[in-house]
Amino acid sequence: MEQRWDSNPRPGRELPLPRPLLIDHAPSAGPSSDWSRLTRPRPRCRGRVMWSVKMAALRAAMPVLLLLLGLCLEPAATAAPLVIWHGMGDSCCNPMSMGYVQKMVEKKIPGIYVLSLKIGSNLIQDMENSFFMNVNDQVREVCSQLAADPHLKGGYNAMGFSQGGQFLRAVAQRCPSPPMLNLISIGGQHQGVYGFPRCPGESSHICDWIRKTLDLGAYTQAVQEHLVQAEYWHDPLKEEDYRKNSIFLADINQERGINETYKKNLMALKKFVMVKFLNDTMVDPPASEWFGFYRSGQAKETVPLQETSLYKEDRLGLQEMDKAGKLVFLGVKGDHLHFSEEWFDTTILPFLQ
């Protein structure tokens, strides 16, 4: 209901004193004239009574008015903080990749807190660690960073690019505090990879070495401990070796047994968004970006998530999440991590606001 303040005194504002009536200068008039009615003195006690009544009514209404004023002046809720984890061969703050994404988000969502994860003391170490630092150690480091950041106490959204997608899923499963609200995986390989068809930019010579190393012994202890890509290497022709010796992916995908805590923590997500690049020439197979993979025993035919044993046995709670509408599968035309700002604005930003 609209409040009308014209006829009532405002809090903290002095009322103007009434001007004295100059009866001495009034023209003569009989007692019944209009002028005599206007200038006739009124009893002071009546005015005091009316003033007291008005002030009492105002004091009674004051708590309600202050409450309404507080509601009107209360600032709008800000968006949840965002944590970003970059992909292979990248760094937290590259102005052409993660740095650009961070600025784009901050521009579109004013006031948002964005943490782009850096693993190491500088950008060179951050890039090198994306190849050579044990993933489990990286996840522990990130969990420590998140727990120590006061901005994240109330929860945060997470967005992982390429391998950063499955690494952040490990954070969701292993480190529930502070709570991850939504997980957005952009080109993440959640069932792993079986090949490196092409590598990004100047990292191609490193990837040539990675291919040779993986061919020689992806599941040996030395390679598993020191080569990041070996830790999510998934050989469909050697499923038993993968389940037994993979120190990262086989663990977070519940290949050796059911960790109920992993399942419970992942299912606590509001949304798990998976973006697949429909013309991907880097990830083999691209189906892994939607949690699909090669059918066991061969490397030609792929099956979607819903036909995998992981889903049918519901080892991670993905089947239950899918039925609850928590899994979101998005496809975008383009090669690995190639997308437009317009697509990002219209498709990804709504999950962050």
Residue 271 structure tokens: 């949304």
- Measured CA to CA, the distance from residue 151 to residue 40 in angstroms comes to 70
Instruction: Say if residues 155 and 181 touch (Cβ distance below 8 Å).
Output: yes
Of all helices (H) and strands (E), which one includes residue 137? Answer: helix 135-148
Query: φ, ψ for residue 282 (rounded to 5)?
Result: -105, -40
CA distances 270 to 38, 124, 324, 326, Å, are 72, 35, 10, 6
User: Which of 280, 66, 316, 87 shows the shortest CA–CA distance to 185?
Assistant: 87
Query: 128 in helix, strand or coil?
Result: helix
C-alpha–C-alpha distance, residues 84 and 9, integer Å: 54
State the catalytic residues. Answer: 162, 280, 336
CB 278 within 8 A of CB 335: no
Q: How far apart are the first and last CA of the chain?
A: 31
DSSP code of residue 233: B
Number of Cβ atoms within 10 Å of the Cβ of 134: 17
> CA of 2: how far to CAs of 5, 59, 61, 100, 127, in Å?
10, 19, 15, 47, 60
Q: How far apart are CA 179 and CA 324, in angstroms?
A: 19
